[in-house]
């Protein structure tokens, strides 16, 4: 690693550029130019990731890195490191103007990146001052090279070479004098070279400069401006306030034309103006140069400065560069206007992942210039940071202000306030009260300006997402699915992939009524889209990860379910509302219970129950959480405790199927099978409300266990068979494991069940296996089995002989033999047991999932 | 940068402004001086001495300005408080 640490104008950037452009290099460069006063960690890291991807040639492979409102610095560093690790060749990471990075968070992350760089990587950092990067280890290991001001200083010979290269004829003595006066300072020599190039008497110029006591920078900038033609002089002064400038903007600020030509000329002629893009349309001034010009502008044209800022702000807002427009409006001293601009755009900026930039802009308002509009901005920021009480307080201020605002303004503010309230309610899990508000937001807007429509589209997409989430999580309404689908479509239309991922990720959870196959497909789609944008480990996609984990646990694929569960926990590191954390505990509890670890399961269910009791509103899975907690207590031999807690359950939930099932488990633990049968009666006859059909499967199994206790084996077998029949389409395994139904199932004669394949799978799990759900595509190509072959295949795991199978299917034994031969060939199996094994791996044995 | 602030005065933060003199190599003209509106300037030999009543953040603002303008900083001194 190399650090170039030297004052302004020492020639750091020029050194980097010359070094990067030198011929005959085999490595690739990733160059990051830190923006002036960069306080937004995410903007810095996105620029860095983009540069690395450009350099390693992976940029075209996926979507460009996009900002998210839930920036996770840790995950970002991992992403950059994995991009670098994937690249075989040598990559050199160059970060210029690193002193402009005013984000302690970003610097900490950068230290982690730098100390973990792969061996084929080299990093070069340029900065005006030594940074607080913790690089002692690198230094001690001799891995750190430093270039400092003394190394960059021009020698006398180099000074002569610079002058010669600029076509300046100066005597040896004159060059020595110039070198001595500038002390070899690169910026001073470069500025001198500009003035000397057209000077009639270079020797006199150097003599006068040498005789002056003025600072090199001030003397040289004045001389340089003096020797420029009027229009160039004018352009430099009037555009120096901008961080970047193009011809059109420069024309606007100078009131002239032909600015682009002047800018191109300046770039060709000196080192202080550089183009930012290969087409050379945008330019920036060297920071020291711009700072000196700004002083000169303020001294010579002070009355024009606010007007220049205003004109720049107007142009920038028209061209969608909101952040810069707000900065210039602030610089013009138009604080109320700046506050309005920021309030209008803070919502979209948050979606753009610029939350930290918004914070910096809010901080820039002086204490005396605070404005009620900023309350709205602060409320949005509070929500991003999870400070819900502060958000509510700021929203109250904004609401009071909105009442007094002019009518057109009032409408806008109300829409924004309503949207933030909805987000707040969602985060708090406090829901029903805001659904009306959400409906008003979710309705399409007509007859407004383009800007309004864009703003309202953002608001609408977010409102649809929040509405769908509330409906799905809290109220369990079927509308959820429709609203989330609408939200996803709108988000795609308006180019907000983050919201699209958000809506899709919730769809899996919202679509409880669909077969698991559809739910899983939706989850995988959401995850794939998130991965494309690099958001695979972000909170936004957590609901999809979670739901996918859940379906796998339901179907007995415990090992893979655990992997997805871990990925969910990783994604929830930065942000986790109580609703989703509750779900993580439920699925974790399901997993433990499925593996027969009831103590661990009880811990998870109790944690979920605790979160549920903290929620202000209801949770769609509330009765499930409580029911499983009570049932697990009872299974652990603590029915007394469970019964006491059961007595405390409120009447509404006490009537639910989930709580009735819990009551049955408690009765069984108390040795009261008749009581258990009575408890599940309403679940079995369909009169008790249930969250899903899985509750009914569970009830059948509990009834079966009770019949078994009572010695009625026939009724026990019937109950088990009903449970299997219900479980078949989704291939549910978990309820059998949770209820401890192994003996019940083992007592069921194989030839009496129509679900032999599922039964075998379930018994495998109950004996401690985890089913593997391999994607069929990941296996060697298998020729598809015909429907009649599939019908025969399903009998292979049973004890039925070939003639018995033939009689079951009402075909001849020869036909069965042919089918079995074909099955062996297609599955590349040698015998019946290997065919069954292979068929199980390929998930061909269940009636529900075959295609 | 805030973490540096405490270190200077043995970890003790003095919120009251103090009189500082800041010495810079070379003469500052009107353009350069306009960057330091809160400071009085005086030429001493080939150097410029800026004097002003500054609190901590103002002091670091001035130092940042000196850095940004590529000026050659020679000395920063807090004058003892008048009795």
Distance (Å, rounded) from C-alpha A772 to C-alpha A761? 10
Among B26, B34, B46, select the one facing A295 at the smallest CB separation. B34
Tens of pLDDT, residue by residue over A493-524, are 888 888 899 899 988 877 766 778 888 888 99
pTM across the whole model: 0.71
Give contacts of A8 with chain B, Cβ < 8 Å.
67-70
Residue A775: pLDDT above 60? Answer: no
State both tokens at A76. 């970002």
Among B3, B26, B31, select the one facing A216 at the smallest CB separation. B26
Could you tell me if B31 lies within 8 Å of chain A, comparing CB atoms? yes
Distance (Å, rounded) from C-alpha A597 to C-alpha A724? 23
Tens of pLDDT, residue by residue over A283-317, are 999 888 899 999 999 999 999 999 999 999 999 99
Q: Which residue has the higher pLDDT, B83 or A161?
A: A161
Judged by CB atoms closer than 8 Å, whether chains meet at A299 and B71 is answered as no
Among B26, B29, B70, select the one facing A9 at the smallest CB separation. B70
Tell me what pLDDT residue A446 has: 55
Distance (Å, rounded) from C-alpha A451 to C-alpha A138? 51
Tell me what pLDDT residue A179 has: 93
Residue A37 lies inside a defined structural domain of this protein: yes
The DSSP code for A127 is E
Could you tell me if B3 lies within 8 Å of chain A, comparing CB atoms? yes
Distance (Å, rounded) from C-alpha A430 to C-alpha A615? 7
Strand pairing category for A2-5 and A145-148: parallel
| CB-neighbour burial class of residue A363 (10 A; exposed 0-12, middle 13-18, buried 19+) | exposed
Residue A116 lies inside a defined structural domain of this protein: yes
Tell me what pLDDT residue B2 has: 37
CATH number at residue A566: 1.25.40.10
Cα torsion B6, B10, B16, B20: sign? negative
Q: Are residues A14 and A97 in the same domain?
A: yes
For B45, nearest residue in chain A (alpha carbons) = A213
Among A187, A218, A221, select the one facing B28 at the smallest CB separation. A218
Rounded to two decimals, the ipTM of the complex is 0.79
Rounded to the nearest angstrom, the minimum Cα separation between A382 and chain B is: 23
Q: Are residues A427 and A278 in the same domain?
A: no
User: Mean pLDDT score of chain A, rounded to an integer?
Assistant: 85
Phi then psi dihedrals of residue A522, to 5 deg: -60, -45
Rounded to the nearest angstrom, the minimum Cα separation between B70 and chain A is: 5
CATH number at residue A783: 1.10.10.10
Domain range for residue A589? 550-751
Distance (Å, rounded) from C-alpha A193 to C-alpha A203? 13
Q: Are residues A342 and A405 in the same domain?
A: yes
Give the 3-state secondary structure of A314-345.
HHHHHCCCHHHHHHHHHHCCCHHHHHHHHHHH
Give contacts of A9 with chain B, Cβ < 8 Å.
70
Residue A656 lies inside a defined structural domain of this protein: yes
Query: Of A94, A128, A149, which residue constitutes the final position of a domain?
Result: A149
Distance (Å, rounded) from C-alpha A349 to C-alpha A371? 19
Residue A138: pLDDT above 90? Answer: no
Residue A531: pLDDT above 50? Answer: yes
For B46, nearest residue in chain A (alpha carbons) = A213
- Compute the average pLDDT of residues A350-354: 82
Instruction: Indicate left, alpha or beta for B26 from its phi (over 0: left) and psi (-120 to 50: alpha).
Output: left
For A185, nearest residue in chain B (alpha carbons) = B70
Residue A431: pLDDT above 80? Answer: no
Residue A520 lies inside a defined structural domain of this protein: no
Length reported for chain A: 851
At A209, is the secondary structure helix, strand, or coil?
helix
CATH number at residue A44: 3.40.50.300
Judged by CB atoms closer than 8 Å, whether chains meet at A221 and B31 is answered as yes
Among B3, B29, B70, select the one facing A288 at the smallest CB separation. B70
Residue A604: pLDDT above 90? Answer: yes
Cα angle at A718 between A792 and A595, to 5 degrees? 80
Name the CA radius of gyration of chain A, rounded. 35
Q: Are residues A584 and A698 in the same domain?
A: yes
Q: Are residues A685 and A805 in the same domain?
A: no
Q: Are residues A165 and A275 in the same domain?
A: yes
Residue A419 lies inside a defined structural domain of this protein: yes
Tens of pLDDT, residue by residue over A221-265, are 888 888 888 899 999 999 999 999 999 999 999 998 899 999 998
Out of A20-29, A174-183, A671-680, pick the least confident.
A20-29
Give contacts of A222 with chain B, Cβ < 8 Å.
29, 31
HSE at residue A299, side-chain half, CA atoms within 13 A, is 17
Among B34, B43, B46, select the one facing A299 at the smallest CB separation. B34
Spatial contact of A94 and A127, defined as CB atoms under 8 Å apart = no
- Compute the average pLDDT of residues A607-619: 82
Residue A521 lies inside a defined structural domain of this protein: no
Residue A26: pLDDT above 80? Answer: no
Distance (Å, rounded) from C-alpha A409 to C-alpha A413? 6
Could you tell me if B44 lies within 8 Å of chain A, comparing CB atoms? no
Residue A782: pLDDT above 60? Answer: no
Rounded to the nearest angstrom, the minimum Cα separation between B14 and chain A is: 22
Could you tell me if A8 lies within 8 Å of chain B, comparing CB atoms? yes
HSE at residue A230, side-chain half, CA atoms within 13 A, is 1
Judged by CB atoms closer than 8 Å, whether chains meet at B69 and A128 is answered as no
- Compute the average pLDDT of residues A537-542: 84
Tell me what pLDDT residue A846 has: 60
Q: Which residues pair with B27 in a beta bridge?
A: A214
Q: Are residues A168 and A237 in the same domain?
A: yes
Among B43, B69, B72, select the one facing A292 at the smallest CB separation. B69
* Chain B residues 5-24 with CB within 8 Å of chain A: 24
Out of A20-24, A335-339, A510-514, B15-19, pick the least confident.
A510-514
Tell me what pLDDT residue A779 has: 44
Residue A515 lies inside a defined structural domain of this protein: no
Total structural domains within chain A: 5
State both tokens at A69. 């409102």
Rounded to the nearest angstrom, the minimum Cα separation between B83 and chain A is: 33
For A104, nearest residue in chain B (alpha carbons) = B1
Residue A567 lies inside a defined structural domain of this protein: yes
Interface test with B, best of A10, A129, A214 (most B CBs within 10 A): A214
Query: Of A98, A122, A149, which residue constitutes the final position of a domain?
Result: A149
Query: Of A93, A121, A149, which residue constitutes the final position of a domain?
Result: A149
Q: Are residues A282 and A176 in the same domain?
A: yes
Q: Are residues A295 and A360 in the same domain?
A: no
Judged by CB atoms closer than 8 Å, whether chains meet at A128 and B67 is answered as yes
Give contacts of B25 with chain A, Cβ < 8 Å.
215
Give contacts of A187 with chain B, Cβ < 8 Å.
70
Give contacts of B34 with chain A, Cβ < 8 Å.
295, 298-299
Judged by CB atoms closer than 8 Å, whether chains meet at A217 and B67 is answered as no
Interface test with B, best of A131, A215, A236, A366 (most B CBs within 10 A): A215
Residues 6 or more apart in contact with residue A271 via CB below 8 angstroms: A14, A190, A286
Distance (Å, rounded) from C-alpha A505 to C-alpha A497? 12
Q: What is the DSSP string of A92-117?
A: EEEEE-GGGB--HHHHHHHHHHHHT-
- Compute the average pLDDT of residues A544-550: 92
Tens of pLDDT, residue by residue over B43-69, are 999 999 999 999 988 999 999 999 989
Tell me what pLDDT residue A124 has: 92
Tell me what pLDDT residue A412 has: 78
Among B32, B67, B68, select the one facing A215 at the smallest CB separation. B32
At A652, is the secondary structure helix, strand, or coil?
helix
Tell me what pLDDT residue A849 has: 38
Q: Are residues A109 and A195 in the same domain?
A: no
Q: How many helices (H) and strands (E) does chain A have?
A: 45, 8
Residues 6 or more apart in contact with residue A459 via CB below 8 angstroms: A347, A415, A416, A419, A441
- Under the banding of pLDDT at 50, 70 and 90, the label for residue A778 is very low
Residue A700: pLDDT above 90? Answer: yes
- Under the banding of pLDDT at 50, 70 and 90, the label for residue A455 is low
Q: Are residues A40 and A189 in the same domain?
A: no
Name the CA radius of gyration of chain B, rounded. 13
For B47, nearest residue in chain A (alpha carbons) = A213
Interface test with A, best of B65, B70, B73 (most A CBs within 10 A): B70
Give contacts of B64 with chain A, Cβ < 8 Å.
none
Spatial contact of A659 and A626, defined as CB atoms under 8 Å apart = yes
Distance (Å, rounded) from C-alpha A263 to C-alpha A378? 40
Residue A636: pLDDT above 90? Answer: yes
Q: Are residues A345 and A323 in the same domain?
A: no
Q: Which domains does chain B have, with CATH numbers?
A: 2-78 (3.30.70.980)
Select from A233, A207, A211 the least CA-distant residue to A221.
A233
Judged by CB atoms closer than 8 Å, whether chains meet at B26 and A215 is answered as yes
Out of A192-196, A383-387, A510-514, B62-66, pick the least confident.
A510-514
**How many contacts, defined by CB atoms under 8 Å, are there between A and B?**
63
For A289, nearest residue in chain B (alpha carbons) = B69
Q: Which residue has the higher pLDDT, A750 or A31?
A: A31
Residue A780: pLDDT above 50? Answer: no
């Amino acid at each position: 690693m190399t650090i170039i640490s030297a004052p302004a104008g020492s020639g750091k950037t020029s050194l980097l550029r010359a070094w990067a452009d030198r011929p005959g290099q085999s490595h690739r460069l990733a160059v990051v130019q830190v923006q002036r006063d960069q306080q937004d960690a995410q903007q810095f890291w996105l620029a860095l990731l983009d540069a690395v991807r450009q350099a390693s040639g992976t940029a075209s492979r996926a979507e460009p890195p996009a900002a998210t409102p839930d920036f996770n610095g840790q995950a970002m560093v991992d992403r950059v490191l994995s991009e670098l690790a994937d690249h075989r060749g040598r990559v050199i990471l160059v970060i210029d103007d690193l002193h402009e990075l005013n984000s302690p968070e970003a610097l900490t992350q950068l230290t982690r990146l730098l100390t973990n760089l792969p061996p084929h990587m080299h990093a070069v950092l340029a900065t005006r001052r030594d940074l607080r990067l913790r690089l002692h280890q690198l230094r001690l290991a001799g891995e750190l090279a430093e270039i400092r001001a003394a190394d960059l200083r021009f020698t006398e010979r180099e000074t002569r070479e610079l002058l010669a290269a600029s076509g300046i004829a100066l005597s040896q003595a004159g060059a020595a004098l110039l070198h001595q006066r500038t002390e070899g300072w690169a910026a001073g020599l470069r500025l001198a070279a500009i003035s000397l190039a057209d000077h009639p008497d270079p020797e006199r110029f150097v003599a006068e400069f040498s005789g002056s006591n003025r600072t090199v920078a001030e003397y040289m900038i004045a001389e340089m401006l003096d020797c420029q033609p009027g229009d160039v002089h004018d352009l430099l002064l009037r555009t120096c306030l901008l961080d970047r400038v193009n011809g059109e903007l420069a024309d606007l600020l100078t009131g002239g034309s032909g600015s682009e030509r002047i800018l191109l000329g300046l770039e060709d002629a000196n080192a202080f103006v550089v183009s930012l893009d290969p087409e050379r349309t945008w330019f920036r001034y060297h920071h020291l140069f711009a700072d000196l010009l700004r002083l000169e502008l303020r001294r010579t044209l002070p009355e024009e400065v606010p007007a220049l800022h205003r004109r720049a702000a107007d142009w920038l807002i028209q061209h969608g560069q909101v952040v810069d427009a707000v900065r210039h409006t602030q610089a013009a001293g138009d604080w109320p206007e700046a506050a309005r601009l920021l309030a209008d755009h803070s919502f979209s900026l948050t979606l753009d992942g610029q939350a930290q930039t918004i914070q910096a802009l809010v901080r820039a308002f002086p204490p005396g210039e605070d404005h009620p509009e900023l309350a709205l901005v602060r409320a949005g920021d509070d929500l991003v940071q999870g400070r819900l009480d502060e958000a509510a307080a700021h929203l109250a201020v904004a609401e009071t202000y909105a009442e007094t605002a002019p009518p057109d303004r009032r409408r806008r503010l109300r829409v924004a306030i309503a949207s933030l309230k909805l987000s707040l309610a969602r985060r708090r899990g406090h829901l029903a009260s805001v659904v009306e508000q959400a409906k008003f937001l979710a309705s399409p807007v007509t007859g407004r300006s383009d800007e309004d429509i864009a703003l309202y589209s953002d608001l609408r997409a977010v409102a649809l997402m929040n509405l769908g989430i509330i409906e799905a999580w809290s109220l369990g309404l079927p509308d959820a699915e429709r609203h989330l689908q609408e939200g996803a479509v709108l988000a795609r239309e308006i180019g907000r992939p983050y919201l699209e991922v958000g809506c899709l990720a919730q769809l899996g959870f919202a679509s409880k009524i669909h077969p698991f196959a559809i739910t899983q497909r939706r989850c995988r789609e959401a995850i794939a889209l998130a991965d494309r944008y690099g958001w695979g480990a972000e909170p936004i996609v957590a609901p999809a990860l979670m739901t996918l984990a859940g379906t796998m646990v339901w179907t007995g694929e415990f090992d893979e379910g655990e992997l997805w569960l871990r990925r969910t926990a990783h994604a929830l590191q930065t942000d986790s509302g109580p609703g989703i954390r509750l779900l993580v505990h439920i699925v974790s509890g399901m997993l433990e219970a499925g593996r027969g670890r009831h103590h661990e399961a009880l811990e998870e269910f109790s944690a979920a129950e605790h979160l549920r009791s903290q929620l202000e509103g209801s949770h769609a899975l509330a009765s499930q959480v409580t029911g499983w907690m009570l049932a697990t207590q009872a299974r652990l031999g603590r029915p007394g405790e469970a019964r006491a807690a059961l007595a405390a359950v409120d009447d509404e939930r006490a009537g639910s199927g989930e709580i009735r099932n819990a009551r049955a488990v408690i009765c069984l633990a108390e040795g009261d099978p008749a009581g258990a049968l009575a408890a599940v009666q309403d679940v079995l006859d369909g009169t008790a409300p249930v969250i899903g059909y899985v509750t009914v499967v569970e009830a059948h199994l509990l009834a079966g266990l009770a019949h078994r206790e009572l010695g009625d084996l026939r009724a026990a077998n019937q109950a088990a068979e009903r449970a299997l029949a219900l479980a078949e389409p989704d291939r549910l395994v978990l309820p059998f494991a949770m209820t401890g139904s192994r003996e019940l199932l083992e007592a069921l004669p194989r030839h009496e069940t129509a679900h032999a394949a599922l039964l075998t799978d379930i018994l495998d799990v109950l004996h401690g296996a985890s089913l593997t759900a391999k994607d069929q595509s990941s296996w060697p190509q298998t020729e598809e089995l015909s429907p009649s072959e599939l019908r025969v295949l399903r009998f292979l795991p049973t004890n039925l002989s070939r003639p018995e199978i033939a009689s079951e299917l009402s075909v001849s034994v020869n036909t069965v033999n042919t089918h079995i031969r074909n099955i062996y060939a297609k599955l590349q199996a040698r015998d019946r047991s290997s065919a069954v094994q292979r068929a199980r791996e390929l998930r061909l044995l269940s009636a529900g999932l075959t295609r | 940068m805030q973490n540096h602030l405490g270190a200077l005065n043995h970890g003790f933060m003095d919120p009251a402004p103090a009189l500082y003199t800041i010495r810079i190599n070379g003469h500052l003209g009107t353009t350069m001086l306009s960057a330091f509106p809160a400071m009085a300037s005086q030429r001493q030999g080939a150097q410029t001495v800026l004097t002003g009543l500054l609190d901590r953040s103002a002091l670091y603002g001035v130092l940042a300005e000196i850095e940004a303008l590529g000026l050659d900083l020679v000395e920063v001194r807090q004058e003892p408080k008048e009795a």
